Structure 1
Amino acid sequence: MDRLKCMLVFVKVTDCGSFAAASEVLNLSPQMVGKHISMLEEHLGTRLLNRTTRRQNLTEVGRMFYERCKVVLAAADEAEAVAQEMTAMPRGVLRVNAPVTFGAYGMSPLVVDYMRRYPDVQVELTLSDRYVDLVDEGFEAVIRIGPLADSALIARKLKPYQLIACASPRYLAEFGTPVRPEELIDHQCLGYTYWSRSSEKEWTFTKGGKQHAAEVNSRLQSNNATALLSAALGGGGIILGAEVVLGSYIASGQLIQVLADYQAPAREMYLLYSPNRYPTQKLRRFIDAVMAEYG
């Protein structure tokens, strides 16, 4: 006996009010509908429907069983939908938001690789350092740096957004290399200004569990990390920037890390998305890619 099929027939008979009406919906003969009901009652050892030639109604057991059958059938439909979704190829437009610097240097290469693997997906990568509302602004995933406010969104913690201090060989040859954070006051430090506040006046480093708050002098300030990077490469000063951005320039010798014995600040970083019980394949695969790279 196919119990799910019998449950489905029983629910349809109850909803439609008769064997004949259910048989039309299910594309079965009335005799076959009656056979499914009989098998179900025999299996359960109780009557589910009181029926006469003119009418039918549920028994007390039948009413309880009817409600549970609807739950079981809905769960079976959901399970099939999940299985079908998992085998489907990601497709459609994926809208992602990320902070400007991390988005340009950290997310862009990941997105290119993601699109190469899933050619039916288009990605709209919007970069902004302001707070965006994922739901109201129509984003499916958001990268956020810094502490999180209470939210109904799902937050997946990523690697910390690590900062390091660097300068070009030209600058260090001309002005010397600081060996302690306190010496930064005598150097040109390139200041990053946020959309909501001005440049930081102190850079904080840690060594041996002790914090060192170094006062900095920033003659050049900008709200764009690429502009500060260009200034640093040109010998304009010491930059405190993201390791994901500066790492390749250090590897090539264009920049040299300073104060390497000290730990520069690191900020929390998260991937946020809505708590949809069954996310789309394009989002699910994007989450997997981000977590593999930065989780």
Structure 2
Amino acid sequence: MDSLGSLNAFVQAAEARSFTLAGRQLGVSPSAIGKAIARLEERLNVRLFHRSTRTITLTPEGTLFLERCRRIFCEIEAAELELSQTQGAPRGKLRVSLPLVGMLMMPTLTAFMRTWPEIELDLDFTDRLVDVIDEGFDAVVRTGEMSDSRLMMRVPGAYHHQIVAAPDYLDQRGTPRMPDDLLSHVCLHHRYPTTGKLERWPLKRGRKDLDIVLPHSAIANNIEPLIHMAEQGIGIACLPDFAVRQQIEEGRLVAVLTDHVQNACAFRILWPSSRQISPKLRVFVDFMAQNLFAGRSAGL
């Protein structure tokens, strides 16, 4: 068991490239990680890491050893999976990376936790491109096309954008009937945190895409402030439908120009192809598809 613990410390340090991060993930001190790896190197009579004051990197021997250790832990995971399947309800930790817009999925995620209390969600919200395997995620939720051959993929659902404003705002400024009418409105824009570019409003006239330079009355790199400003009657915003569904149902926001916004963006859940999909991941995907994207079926 001590050997297994040392192997786990090695894998965590190798994937994090840091004794500090590895210790944080395992709940021990960086020095404990360093000592465990030193004992492992002594037992194997080989150096696994090149160490400097700031970084650690794998030696060629360490790289080979990491691949073998990953296979060992995959076998252990497979054994645990077989046992969990015989025990009934899905359980265990599920580490998932979601985009920042995923914060708006919290009501659905909270409902999932109530439905499956034996599954521990470990959520990481970021818009950066994460490495599912090297960073140790069970699954990653992202939009857009994915081309990593090491990953399996399912599409739990899609969302559309809606242009919305508060009833009071529309009473004061008028309701836009055509895309060009937006030029005289207070437009609230979303900026992508990773690129710094403004998100384009997917406006169309018939089948023709429109590229209108809209007024920049306010800009935010997170969608939640835009929802708040729109609800307060500050301006008009283009937002994902699932993010404003409740506000529209309750009359706090009104969708406009619905015939001139025609697009669909797919959410994708990805996980390492070397692993059999576990019960906990299966119920996660099904639950998100059934509850986040009402009326759109998806599953495994």
Identify the TM-score tier after normalising by the shorter chain.
Answer: 0.5 to 0.7
Question: Matched residues in 2 for 1:288 and 1:201: separation?
Answer: 29
Which residue of structure 2 aligns with residue 154 of structure 1? 152
Q: Which residue of 2 aligns with 1:234?
A: 232
1:256-271 to 2 correspondence within 5 Å?
256-271=254-269
Equivalent residue pairs, number = 215
Distance 1:136 1:201, change over 3 A: closer
Structure 1 gaps, min length 5: 1-78
Distance 1:274 1:166 in 2: 38
Alignment partner of 1:159: what SS? Answer: strand
- Aligned ranges 1:237-252 → 2 under 5 Å: 237-252=235-250
Is the contact made by 1:184 and 1:214 (CA closer than 8 Å) also made in structure 2? no
Q: How does 1:65-84 map to 2 (within 5 A)?
A: 84=83
Q: Residues 247, 118 of structure 1: CA spacing in aligned structure 2 closer, same or farther, 3 A cutoff?
A: closer
Check the 8 A contact 1:192/1:200 in 2, yes or no.
yes
What letter corresponds to residue 254 of structure 1 in structure 2?
A: R
Alpha carbons 1:165, 1:257 under 8 Å: kept: yes
Distance in 2 between residues matched to 1:202 and 1:239, nearest whole Å: 11
1:93 aligns with 2:93: yes
Rate the CA distance shift 1:81–1:100 in 2: closer, same or farther, 3 A.
closer
Q: Please list the CA deviations of residues 103-130 of structure 1 after superposition, one character each: whole Å capped at 9, or x if unmatched.
A: 2222x23322322232222111221122
**In structure 2, the residue corresponding to 1:235 is in which secondary structure?**
coil
> Retained in 1: the 8 A contact 2:190–2:199?
no
Equivalent in the alignment of 1:278: 276
Moved over 6 A (4+): 79-83
Q: Is the 8 A contact 2:85 2:279 kept in 1?
A: yes
Q: Which residue of 1 aligns with 2:104?
A: 105
Provide the rounded CA distance (Å) in 2 between the counterparts of 1:144 and 1:197.
16
Across the aligned residues of Structure 1 and Structure 2, the Cα RMSD in angstroms comes to 2.4
Give the SS at the match of 2:111: helix
Structure 1 position 223, deviation (Å): 0.5
| 1:163 maps onto 2:146 in alignment | no
Q: CA deviation at 1:80?
A: 10
Q: Render the CA deviation track for 1:24-68: whole Å, top value 9, x for unaligned.
A: xxxxxxxxxxxxxxxxxxxxxxxxxxxxxxxxxxxxxxxxxxxxx
1:210-251 Cα offsets, whole Å, 9 max, x none, are: 323332111210101111111111111111001001111111
Partner of 1:61: none
* Match in the other structure for 1:173: 171
Distance 1:146 1:278 in 2: 24
CA contact (8 A) 1:171 1:237 kept: yes
Residue of structure 2 in register with 1:145 after alignment: 143
Shift in alpha-carbon separation, 1:147–1:83, aligned structure 2, 3 A: closer
Q: Which has the larger radius of gyration?
A: 1
Is residue 201–residue 215 contact of structure 1 (8 Å, CA) maintained in 2?
A: no
Which ranges in structure 2 are unaligned for 5 or more consecutive residues? Answer: 1-77
